Amino acid sequence: MTIKKRIILISDAFYPENSPRSFRATELAKALHELGHDITILTKFRNYDYSQFLAEHQFKLTMLHKPILPNVPEINLRPISFILRGFKRMLTLLLEYPDIEGMYWVRKSLRNSARFDLMISFAIPYYVHWGVAWARQKDLIAKTWIADCGDPYMFARLDRFRKPFYFKYLEMMFCRRCDYISVPFVEMQKQFYPQFISKIKVIPQGFNFKEVNICKERPCSNTILFVFAGSVIPGKRDLTQLLNFLVALEYDFVFRIYTKQKDLFQKYKSSMGEKLEIYDYIDRLSLIFEMSKCDFLVNVDSSLDDQGNVEAVPSKLIDYALSGRPILNINSSRLDEDKVMAFLKKDYTRQRIIDLSKHDITRVSTQFLELAE
């Protein structure tokens, strides 16, 4: 018999946002509720009517105070726009502005909250963990606190700039005060301070496979259709080498990209014409359905260490696998052209295989619950 637990999930990202962190928190909340637990959500302020969502899922949901700090204005007038972008970037790098304000609102919201059996906070952004740790200085709030980390912070290597040294103290604070640190894949264990290794638990991304719908009858065509979905990080995790290769390739194909960074790919449109299709990002379930129609999918490896020899596992790979299509794994710094040509000829012997069984949301939610026993 399941003992009903009082659980609070604290996340900047949550439904209806279309992001890996939102999926992580939202899917886990649904699964824990279905297992019979009492769920409370604490998330950032957003202008969204949750009445229908809450009626369906029976959560308690509280939003943080509306941010007070102003955003850096956007003015499309050179050179002012260039100066403002630089100023905004500097504020983000040096102060985590404006997200840092959320740290205060998380602490304030938790200070007089009810007691819980389990508290799970989600990063990125990391102000969530920092605010929980600040609130937990004098009050445990919950019997067990799990700090879930989707990406490393001080040891992050995908950004061209390192985090300022003083943020180390905030990271150390939450690592000391939490009971466990959950990460989605084993390679991330090396991205935390050695003294906290014993707290780290590997809990993969979880998804409800029952919600997925894929195309049963794929369209027949002699034109090879392949898809990339997601974001790129120029110089770290990007499609530059692949696109340069495709520009010069005389072959019948269509490369379709779903992204929030359309501007980064427009320069290739003039040379590739109809061979390159660029679309706005769409909701997750619709995207999986659209990807299931193509011949294969493109994933770009990203590295976590200075040598670039540790591969990160983006959560979108689970979505790729759910679509049922072969996955072409490429390295952004060294393109294997023979491998690309093999996929274009429908030779998928070198495709990346994903074990979906460990990503079932029921299994994942159980792993979180076991830490609260």
Cβ–Cβ < 8 Å for 342, 350: yes
DSSP single-letter state for residue 157: -
Cβ–Cβ < 8 Å for 372, 118: yes
- CA 327 remoteness from chain centre: 19
201: Cβ–Cβ under 8 A, 6 or more apart, which residues? 146, 180, 181, 182, 183, 367, 371
> Residue 265: helix, strand or coil by DSSP?
helix
Q: Is the pLDDT of residue 312 over 70?
A: no
Banded pLDDT at 222 (limits 50, 70, 90): confident
State phi, psi for 231 to the nearest 5 degrees. Answer: -110, 160
Banded pLDDT at 258 (limits 50, 70, 90): very high
Q: What is the pTM of this model?
A: 0.84
When the pLDDT of each residue in the chain is averaged and rounded to a whole number, the result is: 87
Q: What are the pLDDT digits (tens) for 34-62?
A: 999 999 999 999 999 999 999 988 889 99
Banded pLDDT at 314 (limits 50, 70, 90): low
Average pLDDT value for residue range 180-207: 89
Question: Within the chain, where are the H helices?
Answer: 20-34, 51-57, 80-95, 101-111, 127-135, 167-177, 240-247, 266-272, 284-291, 316-323, 337-344, 361-370
pLDDT at 188: 82
Q: What are the pLDDT digits (tens) for 65-80?
A: 999 988 877 777 677 7
**Computed from CA positions of residues 230, 235, 241, 246, in that sequence, does the dihedral angle turn out positive or negative?**
positive
Q: What are the pLDDT digits (tens) for 268-281?
A: 988 899 999 999 98
Average pLDDT value for residue range 92-98: 86
Domains of the chain: 6-203 (3.40.50), 210-358 (3.40.50.2000)
Strand-pairing partners, residue 41, are 9, 61
For residue 69, count other CB atoms closer than 10 A to its CB. 11
Three-class SS of 57-91? HCCEEEECCCCCCCCCCCCCCCCHHHHHHHHHHHH
156: Cβ–Cβ under 8 A, 6 or more apart, which residues? 163, 191
